[in-house]
């Protein structure tokens, strides 16, 4: 990722020794990367509210339409692990230019797509560029910002990147109200192009990367493993027998991931330069628990957020603009609360924030599952705001505490695993809730209910599944712990956090009691 030998990292080291990260170079890099992340995240959330119109435009059902979101997330899950290798070989500027260029190509492909298949290909290309941005941004923060300031910086980052999801649904609703769906992509193109040119100029001077090797078998195993799991979940409702059935896909996915894990541990002992994802980070309990919690939270969140626009537009009869505006307050509330949560984290640590967040998330999701099809629109908005505020108390503390528990050499791997885990969980959650929705709606339709009533019952069943997942979030929240004080040169400290001191496979040591 960012190496100590570079001139940029020299300034970073000086900054991390200071009481606050005020170095102009550091602030410039973080601003550029955060702005780019804003652009790509805005594009991702534009699609959530646009799913019903796109399904109508291309004549596809929800099972096929959800792949515009699921395929995006699955692609990110496959590409994100490769960013560790990519960011070793390229400078920050080169990696940024590559990511934004790929994103622009995907956006243009989607904008002019003549068929649903081409639109899906455009989304996959977009995701390939998007996948580089968040690991680059997160690892840069963990490298450049001293531990005592990470909560505040992560909070400010949450403010910036949470405004994009908040603005995505109303912006897409307004665009779809006034113009066709292609403008969802055409309006993003000039913004992304401006970011490409501006970022390329501002990031000049970063040192080139160093030689690194990519383990191709590991890349193929992640694609097969994650793809098999997500496709298998999405096909459960169809129950297709034979080699293309969900059972076969799930089995192949599990086996591929098991082989992948075995290969990574073997490479870590034999040739660490080829390690794709250093799974030894999972031995650090203070990292593994927030990672699992974040994955479950994303699984429930994205699954529910995909169902809400369908509920509002297809069942409750709201327009795309109205449904987008109804989802806007929650996203804005989460973003505006981010800096405050960051400051509270610096003062109190993660657990006093994550536990109330888990309680609020489970409560809000339970309310949605029970009342979403009946409660007045303002009640649904209130439940969404409660869920969003609860997530603000979960995301920033888990990001900061989890990555902060790792030594410097594992930052890039830890960041990549966080990103990969979130995307796989979100894709799996989307596939699962859509499968449950369609299966239940079909059962109710066969039982004699009308189309709208059957769809309403199916959405309710999907929301129940998403709510059940939040129970795991609440349980894990009880075990989140603050990272230990960072003393990279202290071997005893590294052992206490479960790390070896020589960079090899080593032995995991138990953590001291907090």
Burial class of residue 76 in the structure, from the number of CB atoms within 10 Å of its CB (0-12 exposed, 13-18 middle, 19+ buried): buried
Give the end of a domain, one of 253, 275, 297.
275
* CA distances in angstroms from 502 to 145, 191, 381, 408, 506, listed in the order given: 25, 46, 52, 13, 8
Residue with the larger pLDDT of the pair 454 and 11:
454
Per-residue pLDDT tens for 272-307? 655 667 788 888 888 999 999 989 988 888 888 878
Q: Are residues 248 and 179 in the same domain?
A: no
Query: 2 in a domain, yes or no?
Result: no
Name the residue range of residue 256's domain.
Answer: 216-275
Q: Averaging pLDDT over each range in 82-86, 183-187, 216-220, which range is the top one? A: 183-187
* Cα separation, 132 vs 80, whole angstroms: 6
| Confidence grade of residue 489 (pLDDT, cut at 50, 70, 90) | very low
| Confidence grade of residue 18 (pLDDT, cut at 50, 70, 90) | very low
Per-residue pLDDT tens for 356-414? 999 999 999 999 888 877 888 888 889 989 998 898 899 888 888 888 888 877 776 78
Residue count of the chain: 514
Give the end of a domain, one of 275, 293, 317.
275
Q: Are residues 427 and 350 in the same domain?
A: yes
- Phi then psi for residue 478, to 5 deg, are -70, -15
Q: Are residues 225 and 103 in the same domain?
A: no
Query: 12 in a domain, yes or no?
Result: no
Residue with the larger pLDDT of the pair 22 and 39:
39
Q: Are residues 220 and 93 in the same domain?
A: no
The yes-or-no verdict on residue 222 having pLDDT over 70 is: yes
Q: Are residues 424 and 371 in the same domain?
A: yes
Instruction: Please give the DSSP secondary-structure letter assigned to residue 420.
Output: H
* Cα separation, 352 vs 394, whole angstroms: 10
**pTM (2 d.p.):** 0.72
Q: Are residues 161 and 240 in the same domain?
A: no
Q: Are residues 349 and 240 in the same domain?
A: no
Average pLDDT, the chain: 76
Helix, strand, or coil (residue 139):
helix
Residue with the larger pLDDT of the pair 320 and 355:
355
Q: Are residues 306 and 388 in the same domain?
A: yes
The yes-or-no verdict on residue 1 having pLDDT over 50 is: no
* Cα separation, 226 vs 246, whole angstroms: 13
CATH code for the domain in which residue 46 is found: 1.20.1250.20
* Cα separation, 77 vs 46, whole angstroms: 20
Give the CA angle between residues 483, 485, 491 to the nearest 5°. Answer: 105
| Confidence grade of residue 153 (pLDDT, cut at 50, 70, 90) | low
Query: 36 in a domain, yes or no?
Result: yes
Average pLDDT over residues 106-112: 94
Q: Are residues 159 and 230 in the same domain?
A: no
Structural domain total, the chain: 2
């Amino acid at each position: 990722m960012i190496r100590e030998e570079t001139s940029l990292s020299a300034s970073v080291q000086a900054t991390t020794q200071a009481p606050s990260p005020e170095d102009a170079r550091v602030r410039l890099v973080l601003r550029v990367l955060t702005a780019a992340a804003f652009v790509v995240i805005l594009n991702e959330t534009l699609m959530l509210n646009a799913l019903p119109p796109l399904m109508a435009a291309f004549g596809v059902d929800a099972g096929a339409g959800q792949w515009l979101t699921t395929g995006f997330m699955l692609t990110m899950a496959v590409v994100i692990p490769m960013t560790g290798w990519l960011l070793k070989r390229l400078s920050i500027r080169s990696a940024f230019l590559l990511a934004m260029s790929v994103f622009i190509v995907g956006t243009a492909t989607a904008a002019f797509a003549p068929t649903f298949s081409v639109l899906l290909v455009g989304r996959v290309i977009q995701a390939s560029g998007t996948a580089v941005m968040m690991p680059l941004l997160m690892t840069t923060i963990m490298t450049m910002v001293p531990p005592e300031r990470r909560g505040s910086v992560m909070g400010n980052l949450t403010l910036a990147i949470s405004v994009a999801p908040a603005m995505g649904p109303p912006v897409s609703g307004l665009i779809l109200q006034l113009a066709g769906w292609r403008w969802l992509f055409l309006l993003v193109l000039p913004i992304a192009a401006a970011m490409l040119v501006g970022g390329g100029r501002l990031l000049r001077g970063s040192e080139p990367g160093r030689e690194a090797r990519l383990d191709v078998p590991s890349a193929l195993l992640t694609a097969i493993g994650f793809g098999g799991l997500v496709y298998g979940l999405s096909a459960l409702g169809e129950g297709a027998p034979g080699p293309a059935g969900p059972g076969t896909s799930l089995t192949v996915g599990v086996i591929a991931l098991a082989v992948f894990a075995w290969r990574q541990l073997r490479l870590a002992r034999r040739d660490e330069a080829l390690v794709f994802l250093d799974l030894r980070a999972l031995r650090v309990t203070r990292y593994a628990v927030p990672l699992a919690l974040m994955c479950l939270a994303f699984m429930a969140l994205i699954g529910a957020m995909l169902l809400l626009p369908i509920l509002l537009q297809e069942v409750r009869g709201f327009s795309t603009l109205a449904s987008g505006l109804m989802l806007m307050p929650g996203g804005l509330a989460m973003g505006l609360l981010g800096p405050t949560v960051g400051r509270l984290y610096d003062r109190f640590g993660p657990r006093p924030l994550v536990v109330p967040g888990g309680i609020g998330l489970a409560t809000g999701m339970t309310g949605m599952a029970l009342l979403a099809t009946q409660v007045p629109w303002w009640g649904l908005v209130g439940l969404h705001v409660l869920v969003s505020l609860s997530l603000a108390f979960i995301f920033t503390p888990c990001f900061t505490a989890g990555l902060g528990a790792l030594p410097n050499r594992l930052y890039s791997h830890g960041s990549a695993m966080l990103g990969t885990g979130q995307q796989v969980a979100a894709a799996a959650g989307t596939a699962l809730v859509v499968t449950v929705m369609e299966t239940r709606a079909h059962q109710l339709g066969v039982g004699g209910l009308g189309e709208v009533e059957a769809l309403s019952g199916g959405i309710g069943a999907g929301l129940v599944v998403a709510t059940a997942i939040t129970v795991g979030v609440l349980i894990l929240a009880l075990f989140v712990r603050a990272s230990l004080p960072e003393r990279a040169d202290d071997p005893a400290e590294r052992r206490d956090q479960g790390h070896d001191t020589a960079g090899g496979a080593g032995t995991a040591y138990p953590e001291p009691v907090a």
